[in-house]
Amino acid sequence: MFSEKLKDNFLGKSVLNSLESNICLLDEKGNIEFANASWFNFAKDNNAEIGKISEGCNYLEVCDNARGDDKELAEQAAAGIRSVIAGKEDKFELEYPCHSPSVERWFLVRVTPYQDLENTSMRKVVVFHEDITKIKQEESLLNSTIEALEHPFYLIDINNYQVLKANTASGMKKDKKTTCYSLTHNRSKPCSGEEHPCPMEIIKCTKQSITVDHLHYDEEGNTKNVEVHAYPIFNDKGELIQIIEYCLDITERKQAEKKFQETYKKIEIKQRQIDQELEKAKKIHERTLLGDFSKAGSLEDILLEAHYCPAKQIGGDFYNFIRRENKLIIYLSDVTGHGLEAALISTFVKETIENYADLETGELTPEKILTHVYKHYSNNDFPEDYFVCLCIAVLDLDTYELSYSTVGMQYPLFLKLANGSCINLQSEGPPISSVIGLELMDFRADSVTLIPGSIVLFYTDGIAEQMNEDNRPYEKRLKNTFYSQQSKFPPKLIKQVINTDFVDFNGSLQGDDDITYVILQINPPERKQYY
């Protein structure tokens, strides 16, 4: 029998009886020397024959005599216990079902050596029966969840790359031992390189979950693109032991991406061709529409400077000059829009004005020019949603009298006289359009006589209406910047000052609308010191 002293040596009877696990001590022949309270309580609750599992009974004989469905497991248990008693194994573990008519249960039997302090020559073992029903139920739920996944799932040993668990979607046959690189890539060694970055090796270094793209191969050599989501699993000591891989088939997405890239390249090529054509059109636009100072003739007492920056490659703004005997015509046009249609209408306006200046034998005045443009515009089938804003100024080169008229220009011209006086030259009228009748138009001109040193700024609304980050227009700042310039400053310098200030205001010279302005100066006596 199991002596009280031996019981005390076995960690104390009271301690063993307080444990929920079913525990017994076997001698080297398999006889039960001691069993704790849980051992007997479980036997009573399950109508077991107490005499077969009490102290003094041979546990191995009970296993050997098992019959029916339990026979195979009982034989494995007996063999494992004998192996530990014989010193062939350090421990033995076996999971087994132990169902009752109403409840399904699972247990884990664990066998470990016990050193008898009274008789060191004898090899005894401790047998633990631990209820793992909850663990098995959770494992069953997890397995069901994994199996229900429509994408491949793997549980992989971090040390040897063995696939410990896989669902049906993975294509892995049950009870077949294989490695992850063999199963998913049909390779004989672990993946490496940029084409097949190994999640295992990456997680070993980072200890963090990752997502990588893989190219999976099957045994027939077929391929598919897979997005691998890999997660590390650690044991109680914080050691990395396994990883979980969840794989999404992204073959269709990759094919779509490839098709998109191919289409995008075609679009890029087409866009470059369009840009080249637009660049050619831009150069033609600039050569055709923008004023050439040489056309104004040799004017010793007149200085001209201009700036043009379209919102797009081709704009709806332009400026130009025409010299007819002792008259210099300066005009700016702003057509609705910024594309090819606006450029075509601008070309029409320019040709109409120049043809009139060439054919008109009488006096050239802003009223006559605007009236002629309006009539020819109305005779053409232009879209109703297009408008033409024009500023026409005629300078008498003998008297320096400047006649001017504007249609659709809501901002005044700026004039600074040589004596420092600043004057806004206001002239308002509706824009030229196919929907506005002649009776509503106002082409009347005003005039002002300039003196040497006087400077005039003609501009379209693109620069005045440009908003900055504070949602403030540039109009007031343009006015202050222009009027702050000295009359002795040449137009080139004034243009540089305005552009520098506009970049400070806007961030760049390009605006949301076409930006066009012309600076006219009656030559001051101090001009030569700047050239």
Residues 513 and 398 placed together within one structural domain of the fold = yes
- Asked if pLDDT for residue 118 goes beyond 80, the answer is no
Does one domain contain both 130 and 216?
no
The residue count of the chain comes to: 531
**Pair (20, 81) in one structural domain:** yes
Q: Are 338 and 477 part of one and the same domain?
A: yes
Shared domain for 119 and 159, answered yes or no, is: no
Q: Indicate which CATH number applies to the domain containing 194.
A: 3.30.450.20
Considering the domain boundaries, does residue 307 fall inside one? yes
Q: Are 326 and 427 members of one domain?
A: yes
**In this structure, is residue 142 part of a structural domain?**
no
Give residue 528's pLDDT band: very low, low, confident or very high (50, 70, 90).
very low
- When the pLDDT of each residue in the chain is averaged and rounded to a whole number, the result is 84
Tell me: do 298 and 385 sit in the same domain.
yes
Summarize pLDDT for 350-391 with one digit per residue, the tens.
899 989 988 888 889 999 999 999 999 998 888 888 899 999
Number of domains in the chain: 3
262 part of a folded domain: no
CATH number of the domain at 377, please. 3.60.40.10
Name the more confident of 463 and 251: 463
Kindly state the tokens that stand for 32: 């039960």
Domain presence at residue 283: no
Q: Looking at residue 175, what is its pLDDT?
A: 67
* pTM of the full structure: 0.51
pLDDT digits (tens, 9 = 90+) for 201-257: 888 888 888 888 877 766 666 777 888 888 998 988 888 888 888 888 888 888 888
Higher pLDDT, 9 or 21: 21
Mean pLDDT of 496-510: 95
Can you point out the beta strands (E) in 411-471?
A: 413-416, 422-425, 446-449, 455-459
Q: Quick one: 125 and 90 in the same domain?
A: yes
- How confident is the model at residue 531, as a pLDDT? 40
107 and 165 fall within a common domain: no
Query: Looking at the predicted structure, is the pLDDT value of residue 498 above 90?
Result: yes
Residues 58 and 127 in one domain: yes
Q: What is the mean pLDDT of residues 295-316?
A: 78
Residue 110 has pLDDT above 80, yes or no: yes
- Report d(CA 114, CA 52) in Å as an integer: 22
Give the confidence band of 7 by pLDDT, cuts at 50, 70, 90: very low
What per-residue string of b and e applies to 324-355 under the rule 16 or more CB within 10 Å gives b?
eeebbbbbbbbbbbbeebbbebbbbbbebbee
Are residues 394 and 329 part of one domain?
yes
Distances (CA, A) of 148 to 58, 153, 169, 180, 218: 46, 10, 9, 20, 22
Residue 424 has pLDDT above 90, yes or no: yes
* Residue 478 belongs to domain spanning: 290-530
What pLDDT score does 1 carry?
A: 40
Give residue 331's pLDDT. 93
